[in-house]
Amino acid sequence: MQLTGVPPRNGDTAAIRRVVVVGGGTTGWLTAALLARALGPAHEIQLVESAQIGTIGVGEATIPQILHINTFLGLDEGDLLRHIHGTYKLGVQLNNWGRLGDSYLHGFGDVGLPLGLLPFHHYWLRSRAGGDTHSLWDYSLNGVAARQDRFARVDKVPGSPLGGIRYAYQFDAARYVGYLHERIPAGRVRRIEGKVVAVNLRGADGFIESLTLDNGQVITGDFFFDCSGFRGVLIEGALETGYENWQHWLPCDRALAVGSVRTKPMRPYTQATARSAGWQWRIALQHRTGNGHVYCSRFISDDEATAQLLAGLESERLEEPRPLRFVSGMRRLSWNRNCLALGLAAGFMEPLESTTIHLVQSGVARFLGMFPDRHCDPVLVDAYNRQTRFEYEHVRDFLVLHYKATERDDTPFWRHCGAMDVPESLARRVALFRRTGLIFREADELFTEVAWLQLLIGQRIEPAQYHPLADDLEAAKLAGFLSDIRTLVERAVAGLPTHDDFVARVCAAPATAPDARSTMSPGVLAGSAS
């Protein structure tokens, strides 16, 4: 995470001393835990949450950046996963997106090896143009391991130039919140029970001065974090920041979630299977399986969506499906005056690629890197908002391509998605790849060239050519180069235990009855009342 402690400014009477986090859930407690670790004892941290307000929870799947949270907070991975009934995640298996029957993996980690100045995929494209039928994922350690339901923590393949396995987690969100709460040092975060009924603004500049709770208590602060979920109690309810709607690119607007009995093997990847008007997730945990259906209400009724979800379960359900409505998009400003919105209060995008916990994490890290005084310099605020918008828009583009890049015409929903316009930034990226096979990562955007490559190839976007310098390698050397990588990958995976065996040995949770409650999504619907 690259966070460092923020010392108080000596002699600065405008220094922030008291911060208030509004909302619990994963967003609120993760924010509080990170602040408690980063800020010195001169900073007081208060978290306001109400037991009367339900918590959607977070999706049970994450991306590898969550490992940085562990390091920063000093968490032991085995202990963490044991308590939160977690499993390991090698990537996302996407089914039926390009065509019915298609399946590919957006795997974490490398695919192949670069050679000279060129990325690996240009050599693979050249070989395929010559009739080679090996899949792109035959050169991926994560891809082959996922195919065989194998897993181990491998930093590097011994005796080879191949990097190791890159992974994330799948876990029970409610247990994760409890785990974070319990491991915050005593006295660092003061939890206050109550529901915010009024946000009191200063007349001079419109900054938040205090909050009034339903029990009459008044909470003052220098800076406020809005983790209140979709309601955006501070950022929208009080500051009227505005919301940018992205539903014309991300058309799904409803979700259902249901837990089912644990199945074996526990797959070391999240599954996202496209349905007639959306997609269904499946996530293997140690005590149950998480399932859900994200869909567009313009193209399917709630009853039909429920029937599709239940028909797609692999095991007996543990509860009645729980509904959620949402609007994809983002706040026009994530930081407004002395308030920073995180999680669903900041915006919502498809949970398809499990990005929301990362967006909370990066939002807090960005804020701490710019740590303001109580005046919240507008130049600083503007820099934060521009960087946040860059991050959100590039994640948005990655998600939009899942819907746009389809050859499906079997339902009105998929015909709509295939015909829709896309953001100009995405259109340029796709056009460049179609013409040249080139992929460029812009600045520090979240998704790497390899992530974009798997999405593009997995959804049947074919480049017209590969890089001409790939032709400089002799045919025999090209064949040997590719064969050697496949052999290294196959041997490395053959030596791995099954995912079930690794979990049982390293982080097996205590035997308990399965939880009936399933959190709302694999990509993280995070926040209190969110």
pLDDT at 51: 84
Q: CATH class for domain 18-86+171-244+328-394? A: alpha beta
Which of the two residues, 7 and 91, has the higher pLDDT score? 91
Domains of the chain by residue range: 18-86+171-244+328-394, 107-165+403-504
d(CA 429, CA 220): 47
Classify strands 91-95 and 103-107 as parallel, antiparallel or unpaired.
Answer: antiparallel
d(CA 290, CA 263): 10
Q: Residue 47: CB partners within 8 Å, gap ≥ 6?
A: 20, 21, 24, 28, 29, 32, 189, 190, 191, 192
DSSP track, 156-176: B-TTSS-B----EEE--HHHH
Average pLDDT over residues 227-255: 97
Please tell me whether residue 303 adopts helix, strand or coil conformation: helix
- Model confidence at 12, pLDDT cuts 50, 70, 90, reads low
Query: Is the pLDDT at 54 greater than 80, yes or no?
Result: no
Classify strands 289-295 and 278-284 as parallel, antiparallel or unpaired.
Answer: antiparallel
d(CA 460, CA 476): 28
Amino acid at 525: L
Q: Phi first, then psi: what are they for 310, rounded to 5°?
A: -70, -35
Query: Is the pLDDT at 3 greater than 90, yes or no?
Result: no
CB 24 within 8 A of CB 55: yes
Query: Is the pLDDT at 100 greater than 50, yes or no?
Result: yes
Contacts 24+ apart (CB under 8 A), 430-436: 430/401, 430/405, 430/456, 430/461, 433/461, 433/463, 434/461, 434/462, 434/463, 434/464, 435/463, 435/464, 435/465, 436/463, 436/464, 436/465, 436/467
Amino acid at 346: A
Give, in degrees to the nearest 5, the angle at Cα 316 between 94 and 299: 50
d(CA 152, CA 145): 9
DSSP track, 38-58: HB-TTSEEEEEE-TTS-B---
Residues designated as active site: 89
Contacts 24+ apart (CB under 8 A), 372-377: 372/16, 372/223, 373/9, 373/12, 373/14, 373/15, 373/16, 374/14, 374/15, 374/16, 374/222, 374/223, 374/338, 375/14, 376/207, 376/223, 376/335, 376/337, 376/338
Query: Is the pLDDT at 214 greater than 50, yes or no?
Result: yes
Burial bucket for residue 342 (CB in 10 Å: 0-12, 13-18, 19+): buried
d(CA 431, CA 362): 30
Using the CB atoms, write b or e for 20-52: b if 16+ within 10 Å. Answer: bbbbbbbbbbbbbbbbbbbbeeebbbbbbbbee
Helix (H), strand (E), coil (C) string for 497-521: CEHHHHHHHHCCCCCCCCCCCCCCC
Query: Is the pLDDT at 58 greater than 50, yes or no?
Result: no
Nearest to 482 by CA among 103, 29, 9, 134: 134
% pLDDT > 90, the chain: 91
The lowest-confidence range among 54-68, 109-123, 198-212 is: 54-68
Query: Is the pLDDT at 78 greater than 70, yes or no?
Result: yes
Residues listed for the chain? 530
Average pLDDT over residues 407-431: 98
Average pLDDT over residues 291-300: 97
Write out pLDDT tens, residues 476-485: 999 999 999 9
Q: Is the torsion defined by CA of 12, 238, 181, 78 positive or negative?
A: negative
Write out pLDDT tens, residues 14-51: 999 999 999 999 999 999 999 999 999 999 999 999 98
- Model confidence at 496, pLDDT cuts 50, 70, 90, reads very high
Query: Is the pLDDT at 406 greater than 90, yes or no?
Result: yes
CA end-to-end distance (rounded Å), the chain:
25
d(CA 251, CA 256): 16
pLDDT at 62: 96
Q: Which tokens sit at 303? A: 């009853």
d(CA 84, CA 56): 17
Give, in degrees to the nearest 5, the angle at Cα 340 between 242 and 177: 115
pLDDT at 13: 72
pTM attached to this predicted model: 0.94
Query: Is the pLDDT at 2 greater than 60, yes or no?
Result: no
Write out pLDDT tens, residues 329-357: 999 999 999 999 999 999 999 899 999 89
Using the CB atoms, write b or e for 346-380: b if 16+ within 10 Å. Answer: bbbbbbbbbbbbbbbbbbbbbbbeebbebebeeeb
The per-residue pLDDT of the chain, averaged, comes to: 93
Query: Is the pLDDT at 474 greater than 80, yes or no?
Result: yes
Q: Phi first, then psi: what are they for 6, rounded to 5°?
A: -105, 105
pLDDT at 421: 97
pLDDT at 513: 55
DSSP at 373: -
